[in-house]
Amino acid sequence: MKFKTLTFAATIAVLATTAVAHKGAKGMLLERMNGMLAMGKATKAIAPMMRGLEDYDADRTSDYAAILQTHSGDPMLALFPDGMNAAPSVAKDAIWTNWKEFSALAVQLETYATALDLAAQNGLGNAAPANSSMMGGDMTGMMGADMIGMMGGTGVDEKTLETLAGLSVNTLFVQSVQVCSACHTKFRAEE
């Protein structure tokens, strides 16, 4: 429960900075910001359903997952060419000095989004019995370097995906949003 509360607070934190520095952005930067914005809007829109406040709809989950997939992984990384963070961008230089970790987070989001799509039919809270408490409760601890190392590299890892796809939609949503937060904390300057 504590875990959930923290997570939804994190969701709000992700959304709070929406459209702050957006004005004056052009070209690839505008495209980058629009991608992020699309994920922010979609996350905000689907959060009540993920919290059980609205009826669960598997198609909505798949549509949401598709939005995340479109804007994560390689498509996201393509919008971060070396050193492209002149104002109004708030992207940190650390992105390019620590590209390995940055790109791993982008791929991690893609992985969770892909799993979310696969798991859409599992239903909201139908966690896989064997792993659920580990994945649901202690996942935060696993989100460090080890996990990133596991998932990093050049794309979605099939084995990881298979495991993740057995989790509940709710858990996968929470994990996805934690990747947003993890990346923003490290690689996006505070406004």
Compute the least distance from the CB of residue 84 to ligand HEC, in Å. Answer: 8
Instruction: Single out the residue of 10, 14, 49, 156 in contact with ligand HEC (rule: CB under 6 A).
Output: 14
Q: How buried is residue 39: exposed, middle or buried, by Cβ count under 10 Å (0-12/13-18/19+)?
A: buried
Closest CB to ligand HEC among residues 45, 134 = 45
Q: Which residue stretch of 52-60, 82-90, 123-131, 148-156 sits at the interface with ligand HEC (rule: CB under 6 A)?
A: 82-90
The reply to whether 136 sits near ligand HEC by the rule CB under 6 A is: no
Count of chain residues binding ligand HEC (CB under 6 A):
31
CA distances from 173 to 99, 105, 128, 135, 155 (A): 25, 15, 15, 12, 20
The reply to whether 168 sits near ligand HEC by the rule CB under 6 A is: no
Q: How buried is residue 180: exposed, middle or buried, by Cβ count under 10 Å (0-12/13-18/19+)?
A: buried
Q: Which residue stretch of 51-59, 118-126, 146-154, 181-189 sits at the interface with ligand HEC (rule: CB under 6 A)?
A: 181-189
Instruction: Single out the residue of 3, 8, 13, 21 in contact with ligand HEC (rule: CB under 6 A).
Output: 21
The reply to whether 38 sits near ligand HEC by the rule CB under 6 A is: no
Compute the least distance from the CB of residue 131 to ligand HEC, in Å. Answer: 23
Of 97, 95, 116, 117, whose CA–CA distance to 106 is shortest? 95
CA distances from 86 to 43, 82, 83, 144 (A): 27, 11, 8, 29
C-beta of residue 15 within 8 angstroms of C-beta of residue 44: yes
Binding site for ligand HEC (CB under 6 A): 14, 17-22, 29, 32-33, 36-37, 39-40, 43, 68, 85, 89-91, 102, 105-106, 109, 176, 179-180, 183-184, 187-188
